[in-house]
């Protein structure tokens, strides 16, 4: 019996597609629409005009992290027969990323709270409150970049394992490894050279989107080959 059945792979693919859709909605449909880079007053006005839209982005982010868990478990079970230590390493890295991103959502909530909480209005003048809200949004973006460092390394490890697995087509291993490399370039540029990061984003993440979308569609719709039983797991 295979370690991971077709039904589990399809469920994981569906979860992965939902993660991609939720991430696009939160980033492009909400923050991309409401946040005006470098303009605290305009950003504050947009968030105040659409507080429920901002909350929907936060809810999408959190649901995305919940759906991460079945995908993480499936990838562990799928790749464990190739190399249990490396599959476990990728799992740990992915769990760290998820924990970092969940904690980071407090920054997005803080931006809204600063603008809508009456006690905040009493404590800060409007211009200062707007600036603090934009700063919270900025910190949220920085935290997101930090979390993706862990995910980028996990993608590199999983890409190498997929290429060796014989269960998924080797091309998906290359695509996932490329996705991980792009995440790392984007995140380290954000931390070390913000001006360069602004020029690279969002084009640098296009290969990540293509690679993860292709993998999720294959998990959902592809013809799945059985993988070796867990007892056949290899050492590094």
pLDDT digits (tens, 9 = 90+) for 36-58: 988 999 999 999 999 999 999 99
Token pair, residue 165, equals: 């697995």
Q: Of 234, 91, 79, 93, which is closest to residue 161 (Cα–Cα)? A: 79
d(CA 158, CA 178): 11
Cis peptide upstream of residue 202 (ω within 30 degrees of 0): yes
pTM of the full structure: 0.87
| pLDDT tens-digit readout, 150-199 | 999 999 999 999 999 888 889 999 999 999 999 999 999 999 998 898 88
d(CA 159, CA 122): 52
Instruction: Report the 10 Å Cβ neighbour count for 84.
Output: 16
d(CA 71, CA 11): 9
């Amino acid at each position: 019996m295979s370690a991971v059945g077709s039904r589990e792979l399809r469920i994981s693919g569906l979860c992965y597609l939902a993660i991609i859709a939720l991430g696009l909605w939160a980033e492009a449909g909400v923050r991309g629409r409401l946040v005006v880079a470098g303009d605290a007053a305009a950003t504050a006005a947009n968030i105040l005009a659409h507080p429920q839209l901002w909350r929907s982005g936060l809810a999408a982010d959190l649901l995305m992290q919940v759906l991460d868990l079945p995908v993480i478990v499936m990838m562990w079970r799928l790749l464990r027969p190739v190399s249990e230590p490396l599959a476990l390493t990728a799992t740990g890295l992915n769990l760290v990323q998820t924990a970092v991103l969940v904690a980071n959502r407090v920054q997005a909530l803080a931006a809204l709270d600063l603008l809508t909480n009456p006690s905040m209005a009493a404590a800060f003048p409007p211009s200062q409150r707007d600036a603090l809200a934009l700063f919270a949004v900025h910190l949220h973006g920085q935290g997101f970049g930090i979390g993706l460092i862990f995910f980028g390394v996990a993608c590199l490890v999983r890409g190498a394992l997929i290429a060796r697995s014989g269960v998924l087509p080797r091309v998906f291993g290359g695509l996932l490894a490329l996705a991980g490399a792009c995440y790392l370039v984007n995140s380290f540029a954000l931390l070390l050279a913000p001006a360069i990061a602004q020029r690279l984003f969002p084009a640098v993440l296009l290969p990540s989107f293509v690679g993860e979308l292709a993998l999720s569609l294959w998990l959902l719709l592809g013809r799945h080959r059985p993988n070796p039983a867990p007892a056949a797991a290899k050492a590094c």
